[in-house]
Structures are given as C-alpha cells and as structure tokens.
Amino acid sequence: MTRDDSIVECTGVRYSYLSPADDSPVLRDLDLSVTRGAIVALVGPSGSGKSTLLRLLGCLDRADAGEVRVSGVDTTTASARRRGKLRRHRVGYVRQNPADNLIDHMTVEQHFDMAVAMSRSRVKPRRLLEQLGLAALASHRPRQLSGGEQQRVAIGFAALGRSDLLLLDEPTGQLDHRVGEQVLDTLETLRDSGLTIMVSTHDPLTAQRADLTHRLNEGRVTR
C-alpha cells in the first residue's frame, strides 16, 4: 500500500493527558494505517485509548510525539489554521451522546443547511436527508427526536461537506439492537458515498458489520 491509498497514517504516536514527559502515556508507539472507503472499528478494553486516538485524528487534541497524518496532513506539526481547515472540510467528529452534537433550537434541516454553509460545499442538504431516511424529520428539533434519530441526524450533520473521514465515539453505545442497526445502515450509506469511517466501540454488532477491526491495548494497536 502506498501513502496515497491511506486516509490515516499514524507512526510512533505518543500522547499523555498530563505532560509530554509522563512515563505512562495513554498512547505509546502507536502505529496505524487506514485505507480509504472502509468502516473501521476500534475495539479494546476500557481505558485502552480508543477515544483518545479519535480525538487526535479529529484534531481535538495534538499528539506529543510521532506522526498523525490525516488526509495527507501531519496534524502533529500543522498550524492551527491548517487543522481548522481539515476539520471544516475533510474530517467530521461525532460525540458519544447524540444530543451533544446538536443545537437545541435548530431543526434538522437547519442543521444540514448550516453544515453546508460552513463547509462551503456543493452538497445538497435535502438530498442527504433523503438518502439517510431523515426527510420526514426535517422540521423537528433535537428534543422531538428519539436517541437513534438524534444519532443519525448528528452523523449526517458531521458528514455533510466533509470529504474524507468521519470519526464516531461509541455511536451505538446507548441504543438498542434495532436502532443500532439503523445507525450502522447510515454509516454504510456514507461509506458507499466515499467517506472512510472510524468507530470506537464495545458493541459486537458494530465490530461485526465493520469492514476492518483494529484492537487497541495499553495505548498501542495490537492488530
């Protein structure tokens, strides 16, 4: 595989929440390569660093050492401006609690319109609402939606205008099996439209439906 096939390339990544000199960092010597156009599940014990890795890939935090290359940009050394551009146009991030991704007073359609305006993309928000089976909810506000509907809206909102990578922290963690399946259908639709999707999960169904699984243990990818 060449670098061009990869959407994510991590090499020798180290990260501590305390200080770069911490002898027990959360991530240590982490290497990972992810090719375009797959759903990738990140699995591993609680505390192994799955969410931390997603935060580095989503430019919410910056690695202490090593290379975290996303869409060809080394996010460890990139300027704040470059990282901001990456987040606006290429990489979306969905938090675990669906409501935390949405704005109380805005309807579903207004969320999608705002995402397009912010990314200055040419994507048609109405078309994505239809593709994701959310058109009937267009005029609803987050409080009028179930947890699963909120999660699907949050996923569409994060994906809109982002061309490369969607990162999700435990997207099915709070949902029952049937609704979890609907969220996974949404992810498959987005993968088929060209996005690469990385999901941290403890849910066997999510891991089973992913195209690839990477296991984290004590801050490293072990397979």
Ligand X SMILES: Nc1ncnc2c1ncn2[C@@H]1O[C@H](COP(=O)(O)OP(=O)(O)OP(=O)(O)O)[C@@H](O)[C@H]1O
Say whether residue 48 binds ligand X (CB under 6 A): yes
Cβ(132)–Cβ(186) below 8 Å: yes
Q: Which listed residue (51, 75, 76, 119) binds ligand X by CB under 6 A?
A: 51
First to last CA, the chain: 17
Q: Can residue 194 be called a binding residue for ligand X (CB under 6 A)?
A: no
User: Total residues contacting ligand X (rule CB under 6 A)?
Assistant: 11
Q: What is the dihedral of CA 147, 199, 196, 180, to 10 degrees?
A: -40
Using CB under 6 A, pick the residue from 50, 90, 152, 191 that binds ligand X: 50
Q: Which is nearer to ligand X, 50 or 83 (CB)?
A: 50
- Cβ 14 to ligand X shortest distance, Å: 13
| Torsion on CA atoms 23, 27, 32, 34, rounded to nearest 10 | -160
Check residue 77 and report its DSSP letter. Answer: T
- Integer angstrom CA distances of residue 17 from 13, 72, 140, 222: 14, 25, 38, 22
Residue from 75, 150, 172, 200 touching ligand X (CB under 6 A): that is 200
Beta bridge partners of 166: 92, 197
Stretch that binds ligand X, among 50-58, 122-130, 149-157, 204-212 (CB under 6 A): 50-58
Query: CB of 191: closest distance to ligand X in angstroms?
Result: 22
Pairing label, strands 65-70, 73-74: antiparallel
Tell me: does residue 49 bind ligand X (CB under 6 A).
yes
Residue 206 in the binding site for ligand X (CB under 6 A): no
Binding to ligand X, residues 160-189 (CB under 6 A): none
- Residue 20 near ligand X by CB under 6 A: no
State which of positions 28-47 bind ligand X (CB under 6 A).
Answer: 44, 46-47
Beta bridge partners of 165: 91, 196
Binding site for ligand X (CB under 6 A): 17, 26, 44, 46-52, 200
